[in-house]
Amino acid sequence: MRKINEIFYSLQGEGYHTGTPAVFIRFSGCNLKCPFCDTQHEDGILMSDEDIVTEVSKYTAATVILTGGEPSLWIDHEFVDCLHRAGKYVCIETNGTRPLPDNIDWVTCSPKQGAKLEITRMDEVKVVYEGQDITVYEQLPARHFFLQPCSCSNTAETVDCVMKHPKWRLSLQTHKLIDIR
């Protein structure tokens, strides 16, 4: 059984796949307490893999996004396999502090200041900009580097930082801009 906060259908609002229809599986709980965290994730109910797949399969979109909270606390190879057998492309949003199963299709790593990274494979890095030095993340083994304003509040500073560091691209939380989930 895995503790689920919510399962909902929306568009990926952030990062490389922005605009892609996707089913979000939000797991409950996290090992970090980021002061800026925009998500209530503590509540949850225990669901079987069968029930999760049934819920996810109500939607025709191929993409599933595992998020939270911190999804790495709850998932394993078998769970990702179940989603693959249901025909899904499995993405994860993770803080990168816990190892991941190696069969996830797309890894979005959002490193947090002061939290040691444990994952060795990632497709994109997505940093929430708080004025920190972003060059420390430039050696991470990702293909794409995104800098995201914090709660859409410091967009001008984020744009300025991206223009000074052209390895990076701007990621806006587009779901907040158009008031969808």
Ligand X SMILES: C[S@@+](CC[C@H](N)C(=O)[O-])C[C@H]1O[C@@H](n2cnc3c(N)ncnc32)[C@H](O)[C@@H]1O
Report the binding-site residues for S-adenosyl-L-methionine.
Answer: 36-38, 69, 110-112
Q: Closest Cα to residue 132, out of 106, 117, 110? A: 110
How far apart are the C-alpha atoms of 103 and 57, rounded to whole Å? Answer: 20
Tell which positions 2-61 bind ligand 2KA, by CB under 6 A. Answer: 10-14, 39
Task: Give 41 or 161: the residue with its C-beta nearer to ligand 2KA.
Answer: 41
How far apart are the C-alpha atoms of 31 and 39, rounded to whole Å? Answer: 14
Peptide bond into 69 cis (omega under 30): yes
- Assess whether 24 carries a catalytic annotation: yes
Q: Phi-psi region for residue 138, left (φ > 0), alpha (ψ -120 to 50) or beta?
A: alpha
- Assess whether 39 carries a catalytic annotation: yes
Binding status of residue 150 toward ligand X by CB under 6 A: yes
| DSSP symbols for 69-114 | S-GGGT--HHHHHHHHHTT-EEEEEE-S-S---TT-SEEEE---TT
Q: Which range touches ligand X (CB under 6 A), out of 3-11, 46-54, 90-98, 135-143?
A: 90-98
Q: Closest Cα to residue 16, out of 153, 159, 146? A: 146
Out of 34, 49, 130, 157, which one is annotated catalytic? Answer: 34
Of the candidate residues 6, 7, 21, 37, the single one contacting ligand SF4 (CB under 6 A): 37
Annotated binding site for [4Fe-4S] cluster: 30, 34, 37
Footprint of ligand X (CB under 6 A): 30, 36-39, 67-68, 70, 93-95, 110, 126, 128, 148, 150-151, 173
Catalytic residue annotation: 24, 30, 34, 37-39, 93, 175
Footprint of ligand 2KA (CB under 6 A): 10-14, 39, 67, 93, 175, 181
